[in-house]
Amino acid sequence: MRAAVFEQEGVLSMEDRPRPQLRAPTDVLIRVAACGICGTDLHILAVPQNHPCTPGTTLGHEFVGDVVDIGTEVGTVAVGDRVAVRPILTCGSCEECLLGRPNHCRDRTALGLELDGGLAELAVGPASACIPMPASSPSEIAALTEPLACVYNASRKARLVPGDDVVIFGGGAIGLLFLALFREAGAARVIVVEPLRMRAEVAGRMGATTVDPSGGNVVASVAAQMPAGPQVVVDAVGTQLGNAVAVSGTAARVILFGQSEQADTVVHQVDIT
């Protein structure tokens, strides 16, 4: 099968690889229908590398497909089922897992990072990580299940109240998913800070006002539209903590979603109120 493999810093190669085998009796084999390219994948391939990944690993952790084989102990999915895949695999027994924080599992691994992922024709994962999807769901939409789940989890922490104003830094896939969720949840005004015209136009069609950060002072531009500041701010980029705090209204909730190991942001403590 063909697979997109992380070789080393800055190098992604297309390779012919053997058909993957089930690793455990609880595993399933999935024929990949669609796989998203996450910002994490771009960080992995950046020079210098901005996110860890095991060399020789097939990338891709946002994927959906059809089950073509199952292990002897699998009873939750069947051959032919359409599934999305939860890429983070946890132990279920460490302190973090037992405290209900599996994303901080001390023994976690991830498909597309340490284990082969979905940027291939076939992928293997545990049945417990498979989320049933409607057979009729368009593959390119169903592949958004993983990033949408992450955005949904973060949006819950924002505790948005209908009528709240929102500012989102970044109009990529993640920023637009936040926009969609907040609009559905009853946000009043949403500003998306985004320099790329194509992304800004999509955000506008989804009901947001857009601000081009390359055009001047972002904080002043937001303040001109929201003098009291927004109640919810999202940094979907990973480099905008300083601006996120600076534009916030009193007692606003700031969600730091994007991450960058290269970011070095100055935050003035007096701006945190």
pLDDT tens for each residue of the chain, 273 residues long = 999 999 999 999 999 999 999 999 999 999 999 999 999 999 999 998 988 999 999 999 999 999 999 999 999 999 999 999 999 999 999 999 999 999 899 999 999 999 999 999 999 999 999 999 999 999 999 999 999 999 999 999 999 999 999 999 999 999 999 999 999 999 999 999 999 999 999 999 999 999 999 978 999 999 999 999 999 999 999 999 999 999 999 999 999 999 877 777 788 788 776
Residue 271 has what DSSP assignment?
G
> For residue 43, what are the CA distances in angstroms to 148, 209, 262?
19, 28, 10
Q: How many CB atoms lie within 10 A of CB 188?
A: 15
Q: How many CB atoms lie within 10 A of CB 59?
A: 25
Structure token digits, residue 146 = 């993983």
> For residue 237, what are the CA distances in angstroms to 40, 154, 171, 243?
11, 14, 9, 11
Contact between residue 117 and residue 123 where contact means Cβ atoms under 8 Å apart:
yes
What local confidence, expressed as pLDDT, does residue 7 receive? Answer: 97
Cα–Cα nearest to 201, from 234, 176, 230: 176
The rounded distance, in Å, linking the Cα atoms of 142 and 119 is 15
Structure token digits, residue 116 = 């082969």
| pTM (two decimals) | 0.91
- Return the HEC string of 188-217: CCEEEECCCHHHHHHHHHCCCEEECHHHCC
What local confidence, expressed as pLDDT, does residue 256 receive? Answer: 94
Task: Report residue 82 CA to chain centroid gap.
Answer: 21
- The burial class, CB within 10 Å (0-12 / 13-18 / 19+), for 57 is buried
Q: H helices of the chain, where? A: 39-45, 95-98, 139-142, 145-158, 173-184, 197-205, 218-225, 241-247
216-250 burial, b at 16+ Cβ within 10 Å, e below that, comes to: eebeebbeeebeebbbbbbbbbbbbbbbbbbbbbe
What local confidence, expressed as pLDDT, does residue 267 receive? Answer: 81
> Per this entry, what is the length of the chain?
273
